[in-house]
Amino acid sequence: MGRKAQTSTRSPMSFLVGALRQAYLLFFAAITAFPLVWVVISSFKTNRSILGSALSLPDTLHFENYATAATMTKVIVPFTNSIIVTTGAVALNLFLSFAAAFAIARFPSRWLRTVALIFSLGVLIPINSAILPIKLIMTRLGLGNSLPGLIILYAILGLPIGVLVLRSFLLSVPVAIDESARIDGTGWWTILFRIIMPVSQSGIATVAIWQAIMAWNEFLFAILLISSEANRTLQIAIRFFLGMFFFDYGALFAMLVIVIVPIVLVFVIFQERVIAGLTAGAIKG
C-alpha cells in the first residue's frame, strides 16, 4: 500500500501526536491479543494453577494438556470435515459466481441487470431469519445431515458477495481481450475458462478468501443441519468440546490453541495476500 505524505519536522507537538497514536494502537492491539496470549499461557498450566491464579505463569510447560485434548476430542475428524467443506464450498461458489458475473458484466441487457439486482438483495437480507425453511428444503432434497449439503448451502450463501465482487471486477477487464477470440469462432465457455479466468486471478482470490473465511467459521447452519458426530465441522465440534472439559480447564485451553493455531498461521503467512485480496475488489471493485 502506498504511504501518505506526513510532517517530517520533529517538533515537540509532532512527537506528542506520534506518542498518542502509538498509545491508541497499543491499546487496541493489547485488548485484541491479550485474551489469546492468556489462552496460550493457560494451556500449559495445571488445572490447580489455573484455578488458583489467573495471571500466574506455568511452573513447567505441561504439554500433557495437549495430549488429553487431542485424544479426548478426536479433533482430526471435524478438522478434516471443515477442510473438505471449505474447499468444496469455495470451488463451487467460484464456478457459479464467476460464470454468472461474467455473463452479467459482459452483456449489459435489461434482464441481466435485473438478475444482478436480485443477487444484491441477498447481501442485505439477514438470511438467518429463514433457518427453518432452509432446513426443511435441505432435508427434503436429501442434503440434511451431510457434508455435500453444507458445501452446496455455503456456496449458495456466498453467491451474492461472489457475484457482486466478481461482476465489478470483470467490468474493468477490457472487452477487446475476448473479441479477437470471438472472431475466430471460439465458444463463450472456452473464452471464459481460457482467456478471462487467467486475467482475473486477483478478483478470484478476493472472493475465494471471503468464501473460505465464511465457510470455515460458519456455525448456525452447521449446527442446524448436522446431526451425526462423524459429520461435525470444527466450529460445532467446539461446542461439544466445551461440555467435555467441564473440570479440566488446562485441556480446554489446549483444545482452543489446537483449533486456533492453524488458521492464525495460514493468515500470518498469507497476510499480504489476504488483506490485499480483501480490499482490492471488496470496495472499489
Partner 1 sequence: MSIRGDTLRFKLTAVLPALLLFSIIYLVSIGFMLTTSVFKWDSLYIEGFVGIRNYVRMFADRVESPTFYRAVLNNLSWSSIAAFVHIPLAVLTAIILAGNCRGWKVYRVILFLPHVISITAFAVIYKQVFNPSFGLLRGLFGALGIASLRDVNWLFDPAWAWPSIIVTWVFHVGFFAVIVMADIVSIPTELYESAQIDGASAARRAVSITLPLVRNTVGTCVILDITGGLKYFEGLYLMTNGGPNYRTETLALYLFQKLQLLQNSYANAIGVALLALGLFVVLVANRAFRIGRSAY
Query: Rule CB under 8 A: which of 231-250 touch partner 1?
Result: 234-236, 238-239, 242, 249
H-helix or E-strand spanning residue 174: none
Residues from 182 through 211 that contact partner 1 (CB under 8 A): 187-189, 192
**Number of helices (H), then strands (E), in the chain:** 16, 0
- The end-to-end CA distance of the chain, in Å, is 17
Tell which phi-psi region holds residue 114, choosing left (phi > 0), alpha (psi between -120 and 50) or beta. Answer: alpha
- Determine the Cα angle at 283 with ends 124 and 235, to 5°: 60
Residues from 47 through 76 that contact partner 1 (CB under 8 A): 50-55
Residues from 208 through 227 that contact partner 1 (CB under 8 A): 213, 216-217, 219-220
Q: By C-beta, is 147 or 166 nearer to partner 1?
A: 166
Q: By C-beta, is 42 or 231 nearer to partner 1?
A: 42
CB of 59: closest distance to partner 1 in angstroms? 16
CB of 262: closest distance to partner 1 in angstroms? 10
Q: By C-beta, is 74 or 182 nearer to partner 1?
A: 182
Q: Rounded to an integer, what distance in angstroms lies between the CA atom of residue 262 and that of residue 91?
A: 21
Tell me the three cell numbers of residue 2: 502506498
Instruction: Provide the greatest CA pair distance for the chain.
Output: 77
Residues from 141 through 160 that contact partner 1 (CB under 8 A): 152-153, 155-157, 159-160
Q: Is 117 in the site for partner 1 (CB under 8 A)?
A: no
